[in-house]
A and B are shown apart, each in its own frame.
Chain A
Amino acid sequence: MPRRVVITGIGVVSPLGIGHGALWEGLNAGRSAFAKPTIFDSSGFATKLAGQLPAEFSAKDYVPKSYRKAVKVMARDSEIAVAVAKLATEDAGLVTRGTLDGAPGTPTYPSERMGCQIGAGLINAETDELTSALATSTDEKGAFDYRKWGTVDGGGGGMNNLQPLWMLKYLPNMLACHVTIIHGCEGPSNTITCAEASGLLCMGEATRVIQRDAADICYAGGCESKVNLMGTLRWTLLNRLAPCAETENPASIVRPFDPDASGTILGEGGGLVVLEEREKAVARGANVYAEVVGFGAAHSPPPAYEAIRTKQNASGDDKPGDGPRFAIEAALAEAGIGIGEIDAIVPTGSGIPNADSDEAAGLRAVFGRKLADIPLVTITPAIGQSVAGHAGWQLAAAALAIKHQRLPASLNAGAPPADLRSGAASAKPAKLRHVLVVSCALGGQNAAAVLRQS
């Protein structure tokens, strides 16, 4: 008998607020959370708005007292990870090393049966911190002088202005590292770095870890913040961001699947779900949001990168949308269901035309004319694209929709094609037995998962 995997906890932080309640309430109300960021100066970019976390967000609120000192070596991405891990733990009703924080008691699961798979991005060094050190090592023209950086043989010791643990802030696996230390997860742990697909690939891998009996429970999802100078610069150069003034109506900026959409908005945050072996979850009386019944992953020519896209298609075998299509087909096959049994889809839907068109082609290839009957739950108009954190949000939205048997409101000021039901709509009750989550990355990695009402 194969081991079955269910979602028993959701932890999420998003520009709509802290916790899955704030996310769900905001999505239902059809609110968009974009504003002028206060954590960096966006005025030098054409895209002035971003999806920043609420100002009251502070990592200190989410780490056990015994671990507070570690906050100073956490980049914002890690702060998000420790926060959503705590929220997911509490939501799942788990006792862990972190919830005990030295108090007597026994964790719900032994350490070696707890895993952790958190998708992450390239973490950008904090500009002020790094530059304050770089600025000590310049030549007479003000350019960086490598020889002044070192500490011996005539060097000026500039690098010593960085704290000794500086690099540890920026390793992508530090998200999982902090979470495993706090909650005592000594089972399999991984950090997938495949941009937008990272979080869903992590959920898929965590599902496999539990299925193959290498753990009973895993934290799975992703977290990232590109709401900073370097993140905004890169996505501006890649032509992925919607130009917008500070005064623009936030709700009308991101237009998923509209062929004339102008781009997306960066949001920060992420989400982790607690995945748990079903029998153990049921035995402890856990609240079950949904069961993970299918997962698939596939590679395709990167939609936004012409140089390798052309090369990849040299054989002529690749059709647009093959990547999402292969991933979805694998997930449906594992779930053992046909296309008529999918009641809603939570797509990536970034509002970036060349990315959306590839995802749309994949959906059409799988669902054909049936696609026009299936509502798409697009969250980017409300909270933006958080890249490695995005599928954490998507999973939360899908699981909550199943739990509440309800579709959140859909924001879309654009005109998506008639067969893609991602236009503007109010929240409404819906019968949702199977929800498909699809995640497509800039580099050509794709993932899909089917969640079933439990």
Chain B
Amino acid sequence: MTTRVVITGTGWVTPLGSEIETVWARLLKGESGIGPVSHFDASTSATSFASQVKGFELARFLKDVSPHEMASIGTKYALGAAAQAWKQSGLADAKVERRRFGIYLGSGEGQLDYDNFLASNLAGWTAESRSVDGRKWAEHALSTMTAVREIEQEPNLAMSHVAAEFGCRGPAFNCMTACAASTQAIGEAFEIIRRGDADVMFAGGSHSMIHLLGMTGFVRLTAMSQRRDTPQTAARPFDQTRDGFVMGEGAGMIVLESLEHAKKRGAKIIAELAGYGSTADAFRITDIQPDGRGATGAMAQALKQAGVSPREAGPDGRPPVHYISAHGTGTKENDKIETAAVKALFGPLAPKIPFSSVKSMLGHLIQAAGAVELITCIKAIETGIVPPTMNLKTPDPACDLDYVPNAPRDLNAEGGVELCLSNSFGFGGQNDTVAVRKYRD
């Protein structure tokens, strides 16, 4: 008898808000979180807009924020999302054995101490030799940079803060597999509970790359949209006119628990995590396998673990999966190949599966994207409504599936939403998919 794993808490910090219900309502209305970058002066950048978190205050979520004041912004988002998930889970009132309570995050790095970092580099710069004088650099850096600002950039610090706040003393991991990271974290946390190494896991991720070199890196790769005049509609997954993703930021966090543990403490079970698949493209550093086989493999593994055959319709004639949350970045390559991967797996049933990208509204939360998108799947199961792909006005012949264009869809008349897949694919060829299912005893 394998251990079943359920979700008992959810929380997120997103460009459309930091509360589950309000963000969900805004997603169903098709709102956009995108606007001009205000975190730094990006006014002359080919991409000068992003999907920023607005009005976030950690004090709304935690009584004592003092240990976290110097944390990076991504860590603060992680804490905000974790606090929501913790509250919903009701674990505060349960006696969780601390070493059976672990954490697996896919959190990204914090931001450089830009003022002092840039100044140190320039202080050491020697134009004649086109190199940095190490002694001058060190002198400037040692007198201006601080230990706390530097340590808080380490990617394992988000989990250190979350574990501090909520008392996780079990297995603890942080992965950085680019845009796939938080889906991978959730999948691996699921495996940790399945094999009995923990009873409860915090899982998810956080990230903000809306800073000078983060944005620069993607501009140089020409991976981001450059629609400076119409940023609100710049994220156009699956549309013929798509020209790249829009950078977002935020965090998503869930509480995973063995079914037995959740039942024993009388927890309210939100959904069941039913499967996880993970593959590598092993192809090229910049490109996806053209046949999408890495993505197909990740989805196939997740479905197999969920005990579902991709090409068998249910007795009601519906496809075996009722919703797929697409990676759907809005880059030319991703959307075309992800479409091909879904078709390769589901065959004739593929066009019948609602398959949308909330990145059209939230932008791309990079390492946090997968966790936030999984929560949209959980809401779809709970409400029977799937969120739309906005800004999909011009069909692309290479993208010919049902992307739920421009308006949400209520599936309650057909029987609601039982099983969803959430896809995340990362630069470097990481492919991760999780399957989430309506909980039934």
Task: List residues of chain A with CB under 8 Å of any chain B CB.
Answer: 40-45, 70, 73, 97, 111-112, 115-116, 120, 122, 125, 127-128, 130-132, 134-135, 138, 142-144, 146-156, 159-160, 162-168, 170-174, 176-178, 180-181, 183-195, 201, 205, 208, 211-212, 214, 229, 232-234, 236-239, 296-302, 305, 307-308, 310-312, 315, 317-318, 322-323, 326, 330, 441-446
Task: List residues of chain B with CB under 8 Å of any chain A CB.
Answer: 40-46, 48, 64, 67-68, 70, 98-99, 102-103, 109, 118-119, 121-122, 124-125, 127, 130-139, 141-142, 145-148, 150-151, 153-157, 159-161, 163-165, 167-178, 184, 188, 191, 195, 197, 212-213, 216-222, 228, 278-286, 293-294, 297, 301, 426-430
Contact A189 B280 (CB under 8 A): yes
Q: How far is the CB of B301 from chain A (nearest CB, A)?
A: 8
Contact A229 B282 (CB under 8 A): no
Query: Cβ of B41: which chain A residues have Cβ within 8 Å of it?
Result: 146-147
Contact B188 A205 (CB under 8 A): yes
From A144, A297, A302, contact of B173 by CB (8 A): A297
In whole angstroms, how far apart are the Cα atoms of A105 and B389 in the complex? 46
From A120, A151, A177, contact of B45 by CB (8 A): A151
Query: Cβ of A148: which chain B residues have Cβ within 8 Å of it?
Result: 44
The residue in chain A whose Cβ has the minimal distance to the Cβ of B110 is A122
From A131, A178, A194, A300, contact of B156 by CB (8 A): A194
Contact B283 A41 (CB under 8 A): no
Contact A44 B99 (CB under 8 A): no
Contact B169 A152 (CB under 8 A): no
Max count, chain A CB within 10 A of own CB: residue among B138, B139, B159, B283: B138
In whole angstroms, how far apart are the Cα atoms of A166 and B286 in the complex? 12
Query: Cβ of A298: which chain B residues have Cβ within 8 Å of it?
Result: 99, 169-172
* A-B contact number at CB 8 A: 308
Given contacts A128-B130, A155-B44, A186-B297, are A122 and B428 in contact (CB under 8 A)? no
From A146, A177, A299, A312, contact of B102 by CB (8 A): A299
Q: How far is the CB of A69 from chain B (nearest CB, A)?
A: 11
Given contacts A43-B135, A229-B132, are A187 and B176 in contact (CB under 8 A)? no
From A70, A150, A233, contact of B42 by CB (8 A): A150
Query: Cβ of B178: which chain A residues have Cβ within 8 Å of it?
Result: 171, 173
In whole angstroms, how far apart are the Cα atoms of A265 and B119 in the complex? 27
Query: Cβ of A187: which chain B residues have Cβ within 8 Å of it?
Result: 279-280
Max count, chain A CB within 10 A of own CB: residue among B121, B124, B125: B121
From B154, B177, B429, contact of A443 by CB (8 A): B154
Contact B156 A441 (CB under 8 A): yes
Q: How far is the CB of A382 from chain B (nearest CB, A)?
A: 26
Given contacts A177-B428, A205-B188, A326-B99, are A185 and B220 in contact (CB under 8 A)? no
The residue in chain B whose Cβ has the minimal distance to the Cβ of A182 is B282
Given contacts A177-B429, A192-B173, are A185 and B121 in contact (CB under 8 A)? no
Query: Cβ of A41: which chain B residues have Cβ within 8 Å of it?
Result: 133-135
Contact A162 B216 (CB under 8 A): yes
In whole angstroms, how far apart are the Cα atoms of A238 and B124 in the complex? 22
Contact A237 B146 (CB under 8 A): yes
Q: How far is the CB of B103 from chain A (nearest CB, A)?
A: 6
From B45, B67, B132, B139, contact of A311 by CB (8 A): B67
Query: Cβ of A308: which chain B residues have Cβ within 8 Å of it?
Result: 67-68, 160-161, 164
